[in-house]
Structure 1
């Protein structure tokens, strides 16, 4: 292709011409994430191509929290053949358990992916700890938390936006309704005093860690706790707890990921597919 920038020297227009000529391969996204994610153990991570040919020419990129059937169909409808997911495709953390395919819908899902030429890349460990725009910091921004007191990469502690547990729960609900969260769970005395609140990274919500970092209340997720364990631990300790859906807490970070990929790979269109809270409550 001849350069259209006739007024430029070859050196000055080199980058622009390259973008016109360049055809992105799916593998380039993984290469980029490996360079960025210096904190990831790339020999053991779940961040890899789950299914599809990494050498595939990318026509469009879809980003979603999870590669569920509905999201895969939506990706195809939007003209995307590279799908970036945060959570597993086939229901196990490492996507390496062949027993899942005893279920008919799992076999159908795999066949659908293959028949439509989709390539699926898992971006989990990189994005969990990506500074400022990753899962934890994007969740904090969604919640309107800004006065940060401490953190360890997976957890952060902020000055609480509300003084009591009930008010904190109401505040969290107001910040997550647009993500499909129609209610939040509250554990503890509704009138308990709250000063500093801890948040985690999706299902990585280690309560003791957040308390040790200076939190006296916790905003956790359903996948990040068990009531018989974490629930009783917070009740016995008098620690106020608010719980949202796992996807709710991580969707803001996935939107940030889609925006990041679009900036880094401007020659290919990136589409964000919103999923939001996985459940609805009936009362």
Structure 2
């Protein structure tokens, strides 16, 4: 069965309904083009674009923007050589690019968070889903044990930790992506009486400093910071699995990038 790019897009936004304001639009390509293959990725890096082309895919569904701006603003990149080369590579490839950020975060539960929980093998431990977070009650484990579990399940080389590694935890708050700011996390710590919060990214002078003071006061609190990509990539892998089931005749590939940071 022939499937057009717009058909795939409509299927992705259907669980939410069309939003009046969103960054989720078709950035490159034509909606009437027949889909020959789909790639899902957290970030449409130049590597991902080239891998999509090598696999014969002509549609990339990416969570974040291609050109280093959440709102896909490129005016400030005029004549920037890195931007120009990447744009030319994308245009020459003939690959369509659809941004899938706002809709996916509005799935119930949040599709990105669901992918993270699934990758951590914690689906059975979910107590409650909120709009920007999930609360889990897991079998008691130390922070150090959870660090090793997270690294193994997500296939990542490191995380960052605030708090005592020997602290035993069972009540966990999980926030994917850039949701680690104080306004999201601190009320969650208090309301849910959490031992530990795990998030992707957030201002370092907010939640980490709160946890530092909590530890100094003798309170049992800890924080694990995964990294933005590391917390959201599992959601895009989950999306690839769903698209494979929905379109069994179309090759679907999830492409995971290498960690962006190195430990110096």
Query: 1:151 is matched with which residue?
Result: 129
**Structure with a larger share of its residues in strand:** 2
Query: 2:8 is matched with which residue?
Result: 29
One of 225, 232, 244 as aligned partner of 2:209? 232
| Residue 249 (structure 2) pairs with residue 270 (structure 1) | no
Q: Deviations over 1:93-137 (max 9, x none)?
A: 021332124421111111111112111001112222434682112
The alignment partner of 1:281 has SS state of coil
Runs of 4 or more, structure 1, over 4 Å off, are none
State TM-score, norm by structure 1: 0.82
| Number of aligned residue pairs | 254
Q: Kindly tell me: are residues 161 and 125 of structure 1, through their superposed partners in 2, closer, same or farther at Cα, counting changes over 3 Å? A: farther
| Residue 45 (structure 2) pairs with residue 63 (structure 1) | no
Q: Of the two, which has the highest radius of gyration?
A: 1
Between 77-86 and 270-279, report the one with greater CA deviation.
270-279
Can you give the 5+ residue segments of structure 2 that lack an aligned partner in the other structure?
A: 216-220
One of 125, 134, 144 as aligned partner of 1:166? 144
Query: 2:218 is matched with which residue?
Result: none
Q: Kindly tell me: are residues 174 and 269 of structure 1, through their superposed partners in 2, closer, same or farther at Cα, counting changes over 3 Å? A: closer
Query: 1:210 is matched with which residue?
Result: 188
Q: Deviations over 1:250-280 (max 9, x none)?
A: 1221111011112222332212212253223
The alignment partner of 1:194 has SS state of strand
Q: Deviations over 1:220-243 (max 9, x none)?
A: 12xx21222221122123320011
State TM-score, norm by structure 2: 0.87
| CA root-mean-square deviation | 2.0
The alignment partner of 1:54 has SS state of coil
| Residue 51 (structure 2) pairs with residue 74 (structure 1) | yes
The alignment partner of 2:14 has SS state of helix
| Residue 69 (structure 2) pairs with residue 92 (structure 1) | yes
